[in-house]
Amino acid sequence: MHGPRAVSKDWKAWQAVFPSLGKVWRAGRMESMKRHIFLLGLLLPLVALPDNAPPTGEMLVTDIYQGLGNVPRGSIKELRIVQIFPKSIWPANSPRIGIAGEENALAILGTVPVEVDGSARFIVPARKPILFQALDAEGCAYQAMRSTTSVQSGKSTSCVGCHEHHLTAPAKTSGQPLAMQRPPARIKPGELGGRPFSFVEMVQPVFNRRCLRCHSDTKIEKGMDLSGEPEKGFTKSYWSLCSDTNMVPRFAQRNQIQATPPGGQTGALGSRLWKMLRAGHNNIKLTESELRRLAAWLDCNAVFYGTFDPAEQADQLNGERIPMPEIQRGRK
């Protein structure tokens, strides 16, 4: 390792690591310069975390509305925090997490508040891949990340807004963001937070209570069977709903779309199912809690399982809760 030379402030030492760096700088070739600086960063020495390193870090979003287009200020009330699990076995798309190809297993950790000026400051688990979803007053994602971020133990990091341009700087304001004028918020897990997602546990109960009178084995109106009976690795309800992309919109495959368009059309806000149930289908009025459960599922790309482990998937298919995966639990 060239640690001492890489971190030296002496320009000649930097040139010794990359002899062409000076030429690139003088030629004004900025893209090449960025690549050289990136490679230089790989040479920085690593310092082991102490045994007593805290299990959390802090995140600041300066203004969620930067990058959200023309959404009226005040529309975004919360951020949903989602933890993504690493795939620990190699075959692509096996076992399946949902109807979407090669989708990630995940856990909804909960929500944190967004201030009226668009700022948010909150505590998150350290060294975990997480993503954020900007929620309206009904718990629907107006914007959802398909990339991830993370925070180191005991450290703080920040972003300007929500998928704003990567060269954007925070807008000049008359004072501190409101979120910086209070302690960082703790994640509120709510009904769904803090455990691997499970369609059978978190979504199917809504259909069991509200829909089976007209959409079950004994009476299947419009070909829609919303019973929880297992079928081809999922349930009849899941297959029925996900066969129609207008009913359940989603990304079809793991993809390189890092900046999803604002408006939530690939989630609950674009879902015919959510709109129909929100309006009161056949005079059935869902509770706020039930609508939020459906919105969370739709906003998370309609996943079914929250684990890559086949044995744990079988447990979830039976309606059982499972723990967070061993590889993601971190330090005690």
- Give the pLDDT confidence score for residue 269 in this predicted structure: 95
**pLDDT interval class at 4 (50, 70, 90):** very low
Instruction: Output phi, psi for 101, to 5 deg.
Output: -70, 135
Q: According to the model, what pLDDT value does residue 189 have?
A: 96
Per residue in 261-287, pLDDT tens?
Answer: 788 899 999 999 999 999 998 888 999
Identify whether the C-beta of residue 189 lies closer than 8 Å to the C-beta of residue 307: no
At 263, list the tokens: 């408006």
Angle, vertex CA 304, rays to CA 298 and CA 310, nearest 5? 160
Residues 63-114 pLDDT 10s:
999 888 888 999 999 999 999 998 878 888 899 999 998 889 999 999 999 9
Indicate yes or no: pTM above 0.85: no
Kindly indicate the confidence band of residue 251, based on its pLDDT and cuts at 50, 70 and 90. confident
Residue for token pair 């302690």: 183
209-242 per-position pLDDT tens digit: 999 888 887 777 677 899 999 999 999 999 999 9
Asked if the model's pLDDT at residue 185 lies above 70, the reply is yes
Q: What number is the average pLDDT over the span 130-148?
A: 94
* Residue 326, pLDDT score: 84
What is the residue-averaged pLDDT of the chain? 84
CA 36 to chain centre: 31
Are 135 and 262 spatial neighbours (Cβ–Cβ below 8 Å)? no
45 or 293, which is more confident: 293
Query: 159-176: per-residue pLDDT in tens?
Result: 888 876 666 776 666 678
Half-sphere exposure of 156 (CA within 13 A, CB side): 8
**Mean per-residue pLDDT for 185-203?**
95
Q: Domains in the chain, please, with CATH?
A: 3-41 (no CATH), 56-181 (2.60.40), 198-326 (no CATH)
More confident: 44 or 324: 324
Axis-axis angle for helices 288-299, 272-279 (nearest 10): 170
Residue partners of 37: CB distance under 8 A and separation at least 6: none
**Alpha helices (runs of H) in the chain, residue ranges in sequence order:** 3-6, 11-17, 21-27, 30-41, 199-202, 204-210, 236-242, 272-279, 288-299, 310-317
Cα gap 278→136, rounded to integer Å: 14
What's the mean pLDDT in 308-317? Answer: 96
Give the CA angle between residues 238, 242, 248 to the nearest 5°.
115
Going by pLDDT thresholds of 50, 70 and 90, the confidence category of residue 257 is low
| Per-residue pLDDT band at 47 (split at 50, 70, 90) | confident
* Contacts of 220 by beta carbon, 8 Å cutoff, 6+ apart: none
Percent residues over pLDDT 90 in the chain = 57
